[in-house]
Amino acid sequence: MGYPENVLAADERVVLHRHPHWKRLIGPVLVLLIATALAAFGAAVVYHADWSPVATNVVLGVIAVVWLVIIGWLTVWPFLNWRSTHFVITDRRVMFRHGFLTRAGIDIPLARINSVEFRHGLLDRLLRTGTLIIESASQDPLEFHDIPLVERVHSLLYHEVFDTLGSEESPS
């Protein structure tokens, strides 16, 4: 699902749009592979068992239903949540939206941002991701985890904040 452009003002432009880093999908993909392998193994054992056709079909149906539930809950749902999470920087504000069935979000006007920080550990540096920390005038610092290319986003946001403020310190 794409980002809804209808939440932007008429002359507002998107500077950056990101989903969380793909590392969030490693676990769901592993669950998909392991659950599929276990279901296939279980189906092969049941298929070669000396059971009546009705019993075989019932057990194969149970395996299929359990597989579908596990895949839906631990693979499809996390993917949909990842896909419906948006980190957007416009020329006026920072927007964060998340949720698939129920949505939540926050908007931070660029003029209200006091500081922008980032942090990433060794694994995050290898994967080129990290946490972006934005401190605004009236709130506790907000942390946005798993932002791809967090150093570039940090730099871009820093430049946008100073451009918005029209500061003499604004980098050229």
Looking at the structure, tell me whether residues 104 and 161 fall in a common domain. yes
Same domain, 59 and 116: no
Same domain, 71 and 117: no
Query: Residue 60 domain-assigned?
Result: yes
Q: Say if 6 falls within a structural domain.
A: no
Q: Would you state the pLDDT for residue 138?
A: 72
What's the pLDDT score for residue 4? 61
Residue 2 lies in a domain: no
Domain of 64, in residue numbers:
25-81
pLDDT (0 to 100) of residue 169: 47
Buried b (16+ CB within 10 A) or exposed e, 106-142: eebebebbeebebebeeebeeeebbbbbbebeeeeee
CATH number for the domain spanning 155: value is: 2.30.29.30
User: Do 102 and 120 reside in the same domain of the chain?
Assistant: yes
Among candidates 167, 131, 126, 121, which has minimal Cα distance to 151? Answer: 131
| Residue 171 maps to a domain | no
- Residue that is last in its domain, among 41, 58, 81: 81
Tell me the pLDDT of the chain (172 aa) as tens digits.
456 677 888 888 899 999 999 999 999 999 999 999 999 999 999 999 999 999 999 999 999 999 999 999 999 999 999 999 999 999 999 999 999 889 899 999 998 998 999 999 999 999 999 999 999 877 789 999 999 999 999 999 999 988 876 654 444 4
Is residue 47 situated within a structural domain?
Answer: yes
Shared-domain flag, residues 76 and 91: no
| Domain contains 152 | yes
The region, left, alpha or beta by phi > 0 then psi within -120 to 50, assigned to residue 148 is: beta
Q: Is residue 107 part of a domain?
A: yes
Please check whether residues 62 and 30 belong to one and the same domain: yes
Q: Are residues 110 and 150 in the same domain?
A: yes
User: Does one domain contain both 41 and 74?
Assistant: yes
Asked if residue 3 is part of any domain, the answer here is no
Which pLDDT score, from 0 to 100, does residue 2 have? 53
* In a shared domain, residues 65 and 110: no
Q: Tell me which residue has tokens 């451009």.
A: 163
Pairwise CA distance, residues 148 & 162, whole Å:
22
132 and 74 in one domain? no
47 in the same domain as 95: no
Number of domains in the chain: 2
pLDDT at 3: 63
What does the alpha-carbon distance between residue 101 and residue 70 come to, in Å, rounded to a whole number?
Answer: 19
